[in-house]
Structures are given as structure tokens and as C-alpha cells.
Structure 1
């Protein structure tokens, strides 16, 4: 895929070079046409020549035409530069050098069933690796898919949608480019329904507008027909000045809420329009698109109205222009009233429309993962009983050149899988490999495996336990609370995969061993599927008493010449016999009496 992105970048760079040359030409043409207009108008004013004024008009028209063409070229250039940036970002992501998209750090939750232990959110997380959402609603949608439970039917439909989008790579790239251009996360901090609450349209406003326009027309008519003194025009103009002062707070509030949102509305609308016009086969994408039309008005039509009103409001930003428009036409008052009516009719619906954009971004993120990793595969789900089987299963965040994959399955009836091994041998990484791939599968994405078959079940983990100064709790007490939560849950529902890493670390060895054995016994009693990583060989020895319930695995260490350690990170059946703590201590200069 890196070669594909490099080729695409070369194509974009060629386009950028062409657009930049055009940009320089347009700059020159703008200057020439404007100077020509100034010279011709100066000559025309001096000679009062009709021909001169016509020529000046031609130069002015030419200048305006060049400006419009220049703006169009700049828009294309901006799009091309953005596209290049997101393509370069794909190469960085594949090389695990970071991602310009949001890391999901705000979704951190140490008390979640698994997200903290699985490094789901934050820098160098699964979320950051997968995420291609430029909007807040997109980030939220992907975060929820990774951290919440969904019905099997929804996961299947989402998977079909991801497969379809993966086949429309360029279309997805176009949408990502539009949304990335303005990075509209800030816009999503205050959605339009929330803005609506700040807007209160004065009840008398419509009547005053009608009176003003009626009085203005009546005055102009009277002056024209009855040859009255034009000074009478000051009456409606004075009324308009008073009305602008009277409703100034109202128009100021509307302006403040729309300020800087025009580009955002435009980009959202481009995405929604592209989605409305695209034909899809998957149920998920079709149903999602249906939410964009209500009461025979599409989302793009409604947002275009607001965008148009916002543009017209900008006409009065100039001091002189604004004074003329507002004194003669009540420009801001009339338009702000229309904006207020728009909010009454559509503000509540926009949340759903923007959520459609968010879900589309999340789906595109998953489709992009498939395209970036064509060697990965979609999981297969089984409906009956508990099942977990992976062939050549690897961790997505380990570079392919360094990744060691393993086969693993939980046999029906053999619920407890004890994994022993020395330090740094790969036990914790293996637990995360299982967990992360299960979560990707349940999101609707491809998994880092040759084959992955699983049933629908929850995950709970016990990997990273820390103390909390804010809550005044020690590490050991938080361990106890975490274990209590796990045991309380599995006593009610055993359709849960537990991933446990070195239980009861905060106490002495004897206490830790007794407690861990008691916990494993209870898990066996409730027939809870679990993978338990440990240094404690007494847990592995429990297989003698529970041969039908416990399976042992280990990660080996190879020690060469009594000092060099080598890890193969391959999961093997049995119990680990070689440990490396003493050797590691010797390497840092501490003598260890190995006879004791």
C-alpha cells in the first residue's frame, strides 16, 4: 500500500505544480486588469467619453472574471494540498510514525471494562491508528463502536457497509479531503440545536418589518405620484434606524452564532450531497441515507438555505455597505429573522444529519483499515455457544516486520487458559492481541489474522492497575475493586471473555498465590472463559486437579552462553521452565545467589 500512496502523491504533486503556475498567472492578470481599469476610468472621467466608459466596463468585467477564476483555482489548489497531506499521513500511519487525526484521548476511562487496558484511546492507540474522522461526531461514533456493545445484526450490517466503502476508495478519499480541509472539530463543540437555545425571536419583529417596508413603499409612491418633497423619505429611514437599535441585540446574537461557520456548512453540505447522490447496496448505508430526508426536504437543501442566509449577512459587514443596507432595507433584521425561523424548523434535525456524517466517517475509517491491510481478514461470527479461534493472530500496532503471530483457540469446556512465561516474553502483548482483535471484529473491521472465528461475547480485562491520589485508593485496593467488579459480573453472566494479567500484584507471594487460586476456582465454577497470564506456576499446576477445565500455555526464553536472552514470542502448550529475573538483575550489576 505504501507504493500505491507514493504513486498517488506523485500524481497530486504534478497537479499542485500546475495549479501553482496558474495561480502566478492569475496574480499577474489581476494586477494588469485592475491597473487597466483604473487608467481607463481616469481617462474616461477626464474626457467624459462614452466609448471610454464602455472600455472601462470591459476592463472591470475582465478583472471580476479573473478574480473569480483565481478563487476557483485557489480552491482546487487547497483541495490538492489537503489531499496530499492525507495521503502522506497514510504512509506515516503504515510506518507507525503517528497520525494527524485525533488520538481519542478525551475518551480515556480507567474504569471501563477494557478500554484502558487495551490502550484503546490516546497517543499510539488503536483508536488513533484506525481513526480518519475530521469531525467531533465522527470521533465519537468510532469511539462508541470500539467501547460499547452492539447487537450481532448491527455488527454484520456495519461490516457489509465497510466492505462496500472499501471498494469505493477514491470516493471515500474525496469525502475525507472535504472534511479535513477545515478541521471542523471546533464546530461540533456547539451543535446547532444548542445554538437554538440562545436565540429568541422577538414576537413583534414581523409586525415592525411589515410596517417599515409598507411605510417606505408608501412614502416613495407618494413622492413619485404627488410630487411631494423628498425630505419625507427621512421618516421611514428614521424608523429603520430606531428599529436597528431596538433589535441590535437580536441580530448581534445571530451573527455571533453563525460567525466562521460558512465554510463548515459548505463542507458538510458537499459531503451530504455526495452521500445523497451515491448509490449503495448495503442496508446500513441505505438506511443511514434515509435519515437525510424529512418532510420532503433533504439535508443538503436545508443546510444550503442556512449557508445562503449566512453569506447574505456577510454583505453588510462593510461599514458603508452595512449602513446603506440596514437603513434602507433592514438587511440584518430581515435576514436574522429568517435564520431564526430556520433554527425553529431544522435545528433539531441537524444533530441527526451531522451524526450521519460522523457514522459515515467512522465507516470510512474502518474501510481505510481494510485497504491499508489487504492481508488482514474479516472475522466469522458463530451464533451458538462460546467460541474463539485465531490463526496467525497478531497485534495491529506491531510493525509487520517485527510482528510474531500465533494460533490460539479456547476449546469448548476448557475455559481457563493459563499462560506462563518469563519477563518480556510476550504474555501481556498476547492478551492485548486477543482483546484488540476481538474489539476490531465487534466494530465491523478487519482483524490482524489469517482466520478469526468467534461468537458474540463481552470482554473484561485486568491488566493495568494504578493507584489514585484523587480517590485516595492504593494500587492493591483498586485491584480488589476491579476483581470484585469482574466477579460480580460473571456471577450473573458467564458469556464474557476475561483477560487477566498477574492478579494481586500488590501483596506478598503467598497471599497472592492463595488469592489467585481462589479466583481461578470461582471462574471454573461459573464456567467463565478466561486467559490468565502469570509468573505463578502454582496456577499452572492447578491443571492436575482440573484437567478438563484448565489448559496451560507458555512463552519461552532461550538463554545463550549464560547471558544472552532470545525470545521467539511463540505460544506453546505446557508450562514455562525458564525465567529471567536473576539474569536481568545480573546484567545491571546485582549479584544473585541462585542457590537460595
Structure 2
């Protein structure tokens, strides 16, 4: 202040500006350092997240959205594709809610198509080898989300763009107001200079009435809409710019996914710049006095409302495409990351054409379950060689029968999603998947456990005999467990005979050793088993699938070890 009073404004500027430059520079450097720290922190979190997924450390694997499958879904609930400790959560590296949902939908798809799977496989294969690209995409996407625990809700942006806003009258209104302003301003100047009287009040009054009555409602939400749009685009800017500047020469299939970002004339960054300029103009309204003076002279708000409406129209056409491509890429990257983190176990399946000369419908070597840790996972070879093949698996409690059924189902679901299976090699036809494993009664609906089980098995059998459909792969854990032994055995025999006559293959786990005799009656049925042994008074399981019926049982041993009376 003393410098200003003593030497005038020029000296004050010459003295103050150089003194401020180091401060301004320090602020800029500080912001860059903060941004670098944020990005480095997210990068470290990504790597820790990868380690947690490799080790099945559920406490450190981010929770995914609650996206349950329909209650009557043919297989999703039985084989842990969705839920808290599920395949979906293990794979879900997406940041957007829609990317997560898309990955879930791929996993539980009931009608996989060969061309779609093969195209997705090609895209995922390319992404497996592009780990740096995937990590940078995840890094930029993570900056979009407010918190690591929340998925970015892309649907909010789409819903806002889809709102029915009547902006068609803005252009003629803008022209009318501009003409009135062009008349009013010269008249006002002439009045102020004493050349004429206050004739400007006439066009100015008309201008004010038109402004308030025809543009007031839209202008009232202008700042809110502009801010929402700018915030949404600013959060997406990092992801969109990364994809715009990506190099996809070695990823031709992925390039097809991101093609909308590579169009020079239609790149998101061009539209974001337009919106930024509009928002800057709208921002003048934050100063009430300046905003009022501007709008009294020229249709400032109406002009920027019109510009914002035009931006909205353009974005309504393009934003769904951009977001859809990003969601698609996120889901593909999730499958690729799963393959990348399991290089020794994950293998892309070979899909056999429906008219294949190979009789085998399913052939896996070293088949394992992705939700079992590496140190504990036991892999098995398994084939379903011909139409009508039924593998009847017997074994003791806890020997691994149910887990093996889920192993088959999960690997089929992964294969049909376009991702890798957990196997050394995997060949499969396209099969419809149907399971009956976790049947629940319902007090609300008045269903008993047995009735619910009968309904499920009836639906499975109906699906098996549907005409003009591809073969069914059924997974059944205990048939008619909700009734007595005698009727269960009679019903199970009849049901398995009906399964053998249908267009499909499958695996049945059972404790009923009497059912193994069906091997002599049904040529396509074969007996397999898991066994247990006793070492030092404790039961041990090797989880190896062996041919033939199970030679041992362990129910009485388990009861005895639990302290229950055994005769």
C-alpha cells in the first residue's frame, strides 16, 4: 500500500508482480506434486488389488455392486457367479457401475453366441498382453470415481441427457431478443447523449417481457445444468483423453471397440472444449450484479442456454456411444486381468463348432476352480464325450463332489463370457447350462423344500427337451433329497433315465450308491468318484476324480468325531 501511495500504480505493479511470481510458481508445483501423489497412490492400490485377487484375499478385494441374478436363473446362484464371494467379484476390476453390470451379464448369459464369444476372445487376448494399457486405463478410470468403494454411476449422465427438455423455441427467442437489443442499445446511447428522448424504454420493455415469460424457466436451471454437465465431463475427461491418444496398432480388435474415440472430428475432447466455453460464459452469473447488467443489455443467459442446449443435443447422440465403449472395454479388461494374473492356470478355451466332426462335447485337462486358492486347488481331467453323456459322481461327505460340479459350471460360464477357463486345456461345444444344487424352500411363497426341488428339476427337464435348441449341460447335486430314501431312489432312477434320453450332457453328484447300477442299463452313463482316507484318526481327502463308484463312506465317521452316538 505504501508503495502504491508513494510511487503510483506503475511502480506498485513493477514491485508486486515479481514478488508474486515465486508464490504462483510454488502453487503450480504444489498442485502438480499433489496430483502425482494421488496418481501414485492409486497405482499402488491397483497393484495391491492385483495381489489380493491372486491370493484370494477377500478382505482386500474391493466389494462389487450388489447385482444378484434372478431367483429363477438357470445356473448363476448355484455356481457362485454372483454374490459376496463370487467369480464376479474376483474378476470385477471395473470402476463404472455399468461396466460391472456388463461383466455380470456376460457371466450369467443364458444364450451365448459363437461369433460374439470368438470376437470377445480375440479382444481379451490382445488386452492380456497390454498390461500397461490396462493399468493406465484403470488409473484414469479410478480418478473418475469419488471413492474406491463406489462405482461411478454412468446412468445418471445418460438419464440427464435423456430428459425431455423443450429448447426448440430458444433459437427464435434468441433472434428476437438480439434484434431488440440491437435496437435498444443505440437508442439508449442517443438518449444518454441528449440526441433523442427515452425511446429505448419501449423495445427494452418488450425485451424484458419476452426474456422473463419465454426464457425464464430455462434460464432458472441454466447454471445447475451447466455445472452438472461440466462436472460429468471433467470426471470423464481423463479416461476419454487416454483412449483418444491410445495406440492400437498391435490391438486391431480392441481398436474396433474404441473407434468412436479415434474419429478426429467427433472426439470427446472437442465437445468437452465447447461445453467448457459455455460453462465459462454461464459462470458470469455467479456475480449477480454483473449477470443482471449483462442480461439487461443483451440476451446473455438466453444465448448460453441455447449453446448449452446445442451441446446437449450433440452429446445425447454421442455420449451413449462413448460410455458404452468404455463400459465394454472395462469388462474386457477385467477378463484380461484375470488371465494375466493367472498365467499358469488360465487358458482360453477352444470352442468346437456345432457341426464339428469331433464327437466330444466337453474335454478339459487340468480343470480347476478359480475360487480355490492355488495352494489348495486340485485339478482334474474330465470329458463328456458323446451326446447323452452322464457322469454320476459318488463320494463321501466333503470329498469334493459339489465343488467339482461348480468347477465345470464356472469354467463353462467363463468360456462363454469370452474369458479364459481355469484349465491346462479346454475344448467345448456351445451348451446351455442348467443346474439344481442350492434349492431353497420359501415360507413367503408357501413352498416346501421338496416342492421347490421338484419344480427346479421339472424346469431342468423341460429345458433339456426343448426343440431346436443347442444341447443342455446339467449339473445336479443330489436328486430328491427332500424325501425318504425309498421314494428318492425310485424317483432318481426314473429321472436319470429321462435325462439320458434328452439332448444334453451333465454331471450328477449323489450319496445313493444304488444308482451306480444304472451304468449297466444306460450306455452313456459312467461312474466316477471322490474318496477319503483315514490317517492318524483323521479323515483326509485328495480331491482326485477317479473312475468307478466310491468304495467308501464317511457319514458315520463324521458323526462319531462330532461326538454323536453311533451304533
Fold shared by both chains (TM-score > 0.5): yes
Q: Which residue does the alignment assign to 2:347?
A: 377
State the distance in 1 between where 2:229 and 2:29 align.
24
Work out the CA distance in 2 between the residues paired with 1:174 and 1:237: 56
Are 1:333 and 2:322 counterparts?
no
Partner of 1:578: 552
2:401 is matched with which residue? 427
Distance 2:374 2:270 in 1: 47
C-alpha change, 1:327 and 1:176, in structure 2 (3 Å) is farther
Give me the whole-angstrom Cα distance separating, in 2, the residues matched to 1:67 and 1:325: 33
Aligned-pair CA distance for 1:460:
0.9
Aligned to 2:107: 146
Measured against aligned partners, the alpha-carbon deviations of 1:184-230 in whole angstroms (never above 9, x if no partner) come to: 74532324355432422262x33443444444455544565786269
Worse overlay, 355-364 or 139-148: 139-148
Larger displacement relative to structure 2 (449-458 or 408-417): 408-417
Counterpart for residue 367 of structure 1: 336
RMSD: 3.0
For the 8 Å contact 1:220–1:233, the answer to whether it is kept is no
Q: CA deviation at 1:330?
A: 4.7
Post-superposition offset of 1:156:
1.3
Bigger shift: residues 507-516 or 49-58: 49-58
Provide closer, same or farther for how the CA distance between residues 82 and 295 of structure 1 changes in structure 2, counting only shifts above 3 A.
Answer: closer
Match of 2:52 among 80, 92, 100: 92
| 2:525 corresponds to | 550
| Paired residues for 1:108-147 under 5 Å | 108-147=69-108
Number of residue pairs aligned between Structure 1 and Structure 2: 550
- What does the per-residue CA deviation read over 1:290-327, in whole Å, with 9 as the maximum and x for residues that have no partner? 34578953344334433543455345335556555555
CA separation in 1, counterparts of 2:517 and 2:171? Answer: 84
| Per-residue deviation, 1:395 | 0.7
Q: Report if aligned partners of 1:417, 1:531 keep a CA contact under 8 Å in 2.
A: yes
Bigger shift: 146-155 or 359-368? 146-155
Cα offset, 1:394, TM superposition: 1.0
2:37 matched residue in structure 1: 77
User: Would you say the 8 A contact 1:461–1:499 is kept in 2?
Assistant: yes
Bigger shift: 321-330 or 416-425? 321-330
Structure 2: which 5+ runs fail to align?
none
Report the alpha carbon displacement of residue 428 of structure 1 after superposing the two structures with TM.
0.6
Q: CA deviation at 1:257?
A: 4.4
TM-superposed deviation, 1:168: 1.7
Q: Give the equivalent residue in structure 1 for 2:171.
A: 206
- Partners in 2 of 1:295 and 1:193 — Cα distance? 27
Q: Distance in 2 between matches of 1:229 and 1:180?
A: 63
- Could you say which residue in structure 1 is the equivalent of 2:497? 521
Verify the 8 A CA contact 1:415 1:527 in the aligned structure 2.
no
Contact 2:75/2:434, CA 8 A, preserved across alignment: yes
Partner of 1:353 in structure 2?
322
| Contact 1:554-1:571 at 8 Å conserved across structures | yes
Q: CA deviation at 1:70?
A: 3.6
Unaligned runs of 5+ in 1: 1-40
Deviation readout 1:513-572 (Å, 9 max, x if unpaired): 1111111101111252010011111221211222x21111111010235x4111111111
2:241 counterpart (264, 270, 273): 273
1:440-459 to structure 2, matched below 5 A, reads 440-459=414-433
Say if 2:256 is the partner of 1:287.
Answer: yes
Bigger Cα displacement from structure 2, 170-179 vs 89-98:
89-98
Partner residue, 1:474: 448
- Asked if the contact 1:137/1:188 (under 8 Å) is kept, the reply is yes
Asked if the contact 2:360/2:386 (under 8 Å) is kept, the reply is: yes
Deviation at 1:48, TM superposition (A): 2.5
Matched, 1:316 2:285: yes
CA 91–260 in structure 1, closer or farther in 2 if over 3 Å, else same: farther
Deviates more, 1:132-141 or 1:183-192: 183-192
Instruction: Report the TM-score, using the length of structure 1 for normalisation.
Output: 0.84
- Identify the residue that residue 482 of structure 2 maps to in structure 1: 506
Tell me whether 1:302 sits opposite 2:267 in the alignment.
no
Pair 1:532-2:474 in alignment: no
| Contact 1:199–1:253 (Cα < 8 Å) also in 2 | no
Structure 1 match to 2:193: 228
Partner of 1:177: 139
Helix, strand or coil for the counterpart of 1:569?
A: coil
Q: Say if 1:103 and 1:192 are closer, same or farther in 2 by CA, change over 3 A.
A: closer
Question: Secondary structure, in 3 states, of the residue corresponding to 2:383?
Answer: strand
Distance 1:194 1:473 in 2: 43
CA shift, 1:49, in A, is 4.3
SS at match of 1:460: strand
In structure 1, what is the Cα distance between the partners aligned to 2:29 and 2:282? 24
How many Å separate the matches in 2 of 1:516 and 1:325?
Answer: 84
Classify 1:392/1:380 alpha carbon distance in 2 versus 1 (closer, same or farther; 3 Å): same
Q: Which has the higher contact order (CA 8 A, sep 6+)?
A: 2
**Aligned-pair distance for 1:592?**
1.2
Do residues 392 (structure 1) and 361 (structure 2) align?
Answer: no
Give the TM-score normalised by structure 2: 0.88
Shift of 1:94: 1.8
Cα displacement (A) at 1:264: 3.6
